[in-house]
Structure 1
Amino acid sequence: MRDGFYSWFCCSPGVTDSLKITPTDQPMIEKAQGEKVTLPCMFTLSQEDEGPLDIEWVLIPIDNQKNEQTIIMYTVDRVYSNYYEGMHGRMQFSNPDPKSGDASLEILNLKSTDTGTYQCKVKKAPGVQSQKIQLTVLVKPARTKCYVEGSQEIGSDLTLKCAAQEGSPLLSYSWRKLTGTGTEQLPATSLLNKNTGELSVKNASQDNSGTYSCIVSNRVGTDECFLVLNVTPPVNVGGIIAGAIIGTLLGLCLLAFLISYACKKHREKKYEKEVHHDIREDVPPPKSRTSTARSYVGSNRSSLGSMSPSNMDGYTKTPYSQVPSEDFERTPEQNPNFASPKVAAPNLSRMGAVPVMIPAQSKDGSIV
């Protein structure tokens, strides 16, 4: 209703020479993301315009399904800029006093979402005027990467590729080969696709080796990446396979040696451990023949001590074979009852001597 009212006043006879907006020479503006832009809206008033001055900026989005959005307004000598959250704190009137005839809008730190059609409306009864400006926010090419696809051997076909991770279309690509003094022409066998950034090289040679630069650009900026191409002779596949086989065999031999050595060391340590910790029960020594002789002599002494001298006839002639020979081989310290013989008992036997046991007697003649 209000727009129809304003249009009626704008188009009615006699009021068209009142309020006027100066036509802009930039109905379409392109800016890069992060920059700032000033959308012009200059107007003039006449003496016939007596009503209150109202200035309003409206964003018409690219998507037709979305409604128009008032972003800033000036009315009754006051600015209202809290209508649009997406531009809060990033927009303002370029002139602090819009009623002076300058209603231009300044937008800071542009974003790609700021793209759209902006309409400036100036109202002062009975005059009403408006003007539209198309703003396009483009993203500069950025994070461009260069790489090689294919074998870098002499005689092979390879492709140099370039791709920007960021950037608004349309993007354009170009390649150049760098030298110590500047640039030189691309290989004669190469083919460039400016839209995709692919540089195809057929039948590569060592002359194609060098440093290449890829430049990607759009209407608001450029970006660049570098690539080093090193074309080498074909690799001797047979030699590599033979070397790999020999290396594998040597590795297996070394592994087998190490395993064998480890097993040997393990057995040696196990044997030493068993010997060190093995507790064997000593075999009991044979019964001492000396103790046998002592018991024999002791028994004879006890028997003789209980007999009278008249009963000693049978014991004075004890056969030599019944007396242990160890008694004759004992030292005087071991057998004090016998004198240490100067001749061994076996020798005496061979000489025809007969051993005789003489019981010990006390001073009164009794047998001890």
Structure 2
Amino acid sequence: MSKFPIMHARSPQLSSTDIAARLTEFLTAMRQQRRMKAHAEASEQASMKTDGLDDDPYVVPKDTRAVFLSNADRQAIERRAGRLHKRQLKAGGLAHLNREDRERLSSLDNGVSLAKIPDEHRADELAAALHTEMPWMAVATEYTWHAMRRSVREGHAGFRLPPVILDGPPGIGKSRWATRLGQLIGAQSTIVDATGESASFGVVGCQRGWSGAGPGRLLELILAKMSGNPIMVIDELEKAGQVVSSKGTPFGLSEGLLPLLERHTAENWICPFYRVRFNMSWVSWILLTNNVALLPEPLLSRCTIIRLKEVPLADLMKFAEREGQDRGLSETSISAIIDALASVSPQARPQPSLRSVQRMLDLAANLENTHRLM
């Protein structure tokens, strides 16, 4: 499978030590050739002087001693190797980085893999599986299904879900749906809690000089998994904090995401920490909110907004049954949970959520484990 060249910069093929070794080998061979040539000329002259006499192989002995380089020679080689290496670093776009950073990014030299939908039939199967597990997310699943089929028809090198905002009440399984999507299509994914990220630094990285400077969760995931089209899930985006510089420049998560949400700017995205260009155009962004009205207009204009509702009680009961069976719970525990859900009035507020059902399943599992240990 061919690799996707995600990093625009490139590490030098040879280190300074490798270049010095090649220069040493070249200089040694060149001087040896000169010595052999000089000896050959001397032998020819000696042969002319003894012309007519008996051959004497010892008249001009052949010097076969090895050529040794002086300290001055070796110092000159090291200086030249250093200059050549710096030229290669500059040409590759990595001259400004220290050795540790260059070594870390060198893993991207040969490219990264892209998760791909092989054909439309597979797209149909994946969408059907996702819908079966979470039918209340049908609108989001349909959006993804069309994206998968389109990636096949247009012959894309990998799958990319156009930026989408899933807006709906808490506890309906938005993050669970996004994570499951990544598992089904074979793409790496990560969930970032926006309430725990100070501005955009935690996701896209931070320039050196700021406390806690680093490359950000996006590039960290790519470096760890060698995947060029991960699914980045930002939970509760509207609650993300914001930092303002002394000059009044905002460093909010929403502002930091803008260049990554459009393909033509994402193709030449510059990491604030490494100051190196990367092609992030294949990254999928799923933004989760409880109140989309709190997001800025520039971000909204770059995304498709899908509004979701509470999970119907019937779907919660089916989920409890399927999840309980997957966890190996007894029929008694599963039936108790389903009966509890069935007793809830449709007019009751708040209605049970997917999160509350998961807590009920956790409690049942703990009780059964405790009973087994007694």
Q: Which has the higher contact order (CA 8 A, sep 6+)?
A: 2
Alignment TM-score, normalising by the size of structure 1: 0.19
Alignment TM-score, normalising by the size of structure 2: 0.19
Q: Highest Rg: 1 or 2?
A: 1
